[in-house]
Structure 1
Amino acid sequence: MKLRFLGKNSTPGDSPTLYASDQDSYVVQGWKIYAQDLLMRLDVPEGQTAIEVPTELFEHLTKDGLTSGEIKRFEAPILLVTEQGTCVVQGPMMRDDEALSQMRLPDYEDCIEVPKSSITALLEENSGPDHPRTA
């Protein structure tokens, strides 16, 4: 799998990153979740993982030709939004060696792969009320 870097939201020591793949998917790199109270609220199936990223990370979707990177609906693959303004995103753990070799992945981070359609659907207004789950 080949990755194309879209953007990063960095502070020293932190590096949530967004990539587009050649497999019609996005690879999202973010912080592993260690907080027990947050972990207890998640139901992550085997073979998948959940990571935490700033919601602003998705603004980099504009570099993939999308008109906006503003999340309008908070639903799968986004599980919830935290009080700190980050979101918990779930998806299959990235284990593609070629893709991983293109990334810098510290021990405290992990990455997931999600279909582009799952992410782009979150950019569209929902016809009903938006009730994001918060942590």
Structure 2
Amino acid sequence: MTFENPDRSQIKQVLESSKTIAVVGLSDNPDRTSYMVSEAMQAKGYRIIPVNPNASSILGETSYATLQDIPEHVDIVNVFRRSEYTPDISRAAVEIKANTIWLQLGVWNDEAAQIAIDGGLTVIMDRCIKVEDSILLPNKA
């Protein structure tokens, strides 16, 4: 069976019901896409939790080495890593009982999607969370 992303109304529902986004691969370099996207999402009111083992804090938030190190519930695991790394990230997202795994634009992995679906998570792949949020929730601040 071929994976299909949720439709726009379902994606809107995911965004509306989410407050906390763990960003796997969030760079502490302001010139990187992961930083710019996360900064914009933070400005719209989402709590951003960096997952980067090489940084102590990013965007004013404590950075964690792994998803399992985060001491609170995560609504969305947003992934800025290459596709081949995503199955393990999906396993971790299932383990921490996240609601959604979101693979950023250009990131797609059918195995990762199946792991997350089997674990009860909503899966969104090859989409930019900032673009979707801007389109679907333009007045959220």
- Per the normalisation by structure 1, the TM-score is 0.26
Higher normalized strand content (fraction of residues): 1
Higher relative contact order (CA 8 A, sep 6+): 1
